[in-house]
């Protein structure tokens, strides 16, 4: 298959996957002007989009394009074995986020958007998550309440938690990719990980996965440390 065929098949497989979980919106969130044209990170096929899935227990927002085949697939043998960076990033909410415009302006979208942009700038992200299982990081420009920001104005997230409704992997046309959960951390949890390192990150991950709403991000969640 050529680039276009792999692109279409991968898109169909992602859509089929999300439709098996909930109601996939026909609209996608994208840009009028691609940020990569203005110095932002370039996505594999240059297409940057996000999809919305309504489920009985809330809304899922996911990147849609990080696992597209690379746009030089037909001419670059080095990229012919990969579905992009090998990941898509999603955030689970315990509420229905409402209309398309409400979703675009939500703090949840700002968090998953910044996580996806971080991944687009780091094509080794899949291997990093595979090696460490859980990855914690800080994101800029997220519209969370100030109480979730650290002293540098950044918000902490944990990547890779197991979800109760989203499988961890999805087979696409070229390879099996990771579906990476993005979980909002409290400032206390972020500070604990920053101070104590990998053991603290694993401890918090275990505690979060033991919660009834494991994998979901919401502002009312109490800190586990």
What pLDDT is attached to residue 135? 97
102 pLDDT more than 60? yes
Distance separating alpha carbons of residues 166 and 154, to the nearest angstrom: 27
Q: How many domains does the chain have?
A: 1
Average pLDDT, the chain: 93
Whether 33 has a pLDDT exceeding 80, the answer reads no
Q: Is 149 within the bounds of a domain?
A: no
pLDDT of residue 39: 52
> What pLDDT was estimated at residue 30?
82
State the DSSP code for 155. Answer: E
Q: Residue 78 burial (CB < 10 Å; 0-12/13-18/19+)?
A: exposed
The CA distance from 88 to 208, in Å, is 21
pLDDT of residue 27: 87
Say if 148 falls within a structural domain. no
pLDDT tens digits, one per residue of 124-178: 999 999 999 999 999 999 999 999 999 999 999 999 999 999 999 999 999 999 9
Residue 118 structure tokens: 């971080």
pLDDT higher at 146 or 123: 146
User: How many other C-beta atoms lie within 10 A of the C-beta of residue 184?
Assistant: 23
Residue 103 contacts residue 97 (beta carbons within 8 Å): yes
Give the helix ranges, DSSP H, for 121-153.
125-132
Question: Is residue 142 a part of any domain in this protein?
Answer: no
Q: Tell me, yes or no, whether 38 lies in a domain.
A: yes
In this prediction, residues 102-115 reach a mean pLDDT of 94
39 inside domain:
yes
In contact, 133 and 181? CB cutoff 8 Å: no
Does residue 139 belong to any structural domain of this protein? no
Q: Quote the pLDDT of residue 31.
A: 63
Residue 133, in any domain of the structure: no
* Share of residues in the chain with pLDDT > 90 (%): 88
Nearest to 90 by CA among 195, 161, 180, 168: 180
Q: What is the mean pLDDT of residues 202-216?
A: 96
Q: How confident is the model at residue 4 (pLDDT cuts 50, 70, 90)?
A: very high
Tokens of residue 90, six digits: 């999603």
Q: What is the arithmetic mean of pLDDT over 4-13?
A: 97
Specify the pLDDT at position 99: 81
13, 173 contact by CB (below 8 A): yes
pLDDT of residue 98: 79
Burial of 201 (C-beta count, 10 Å sphere; 0-12/13-18/19+): buried
Give the three-state DSSP class for 28.
coil
Average pLDDT in the 55-61 region? 94
* Residue 108 domain boundaries: 3-127+159-183
Q: What phi and psi values does residue 111 have, to the nearest 5 degrees? A: -70, -50
**Taking a C-beta distance cutoff of 8 angstroms, is the pair 108, 91 a contact?**
yes
Q: What percent of the chain has pLDDT over 70?
A: 96
Q: How confident is the model at residue 40 (pLDDT cuts 50, 70, 90)?
A: confident
pLDDT score, position 119: 95
Q: Note whether residue 27 is domain-resident.
A: yes
């Amino acid at each position: 298959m050529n680039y276009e065929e792999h692109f279409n098949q991968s898109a169909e497989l992602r859509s089929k996957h999300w439709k098996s979980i909930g109601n996939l919106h026909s609209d996608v969130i994208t840009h009028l002007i691609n940020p990569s044209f203005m110095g932002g990170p370039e996505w594999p096929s240059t297409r940057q989009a996000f999809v919305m899935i309504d489920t009985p227990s809330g809304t899922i927002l996911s990147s849609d394009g990080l696992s597209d085949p690379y746009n030089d697939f037909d001419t670059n043998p080095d990229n012919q074995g990969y579905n992009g960076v090998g990941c898509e990033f999603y955030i689970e909410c315990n509420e229905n986020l409402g209309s398309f415009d409400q979703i675009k302006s939500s703090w949840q979208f700002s968090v998953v958007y910044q996580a996806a942009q971080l991944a687009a700038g780091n094509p080794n992200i899949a291997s990093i998550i595979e090696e460490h299982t859980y990855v914690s990081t800080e994101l800029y420009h997220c519209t969370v309440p100030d109480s979730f920001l650290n002293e540098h104005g950044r918000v902490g997230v944990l990547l890779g938690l197991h979800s109760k409704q989203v499988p961890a992997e999805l087979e696409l046309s070229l390879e099996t990719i990771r579906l990476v959960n993005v979980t909002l951390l409290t400032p206390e949890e972020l500070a604990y990980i920053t101070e104590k390192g990998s053991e603290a990150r694993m401890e918090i991950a275990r505690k979060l996965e033991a919660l009834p709403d494991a994998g979901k991000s919401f502002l009312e969640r109490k800190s586990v440390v």
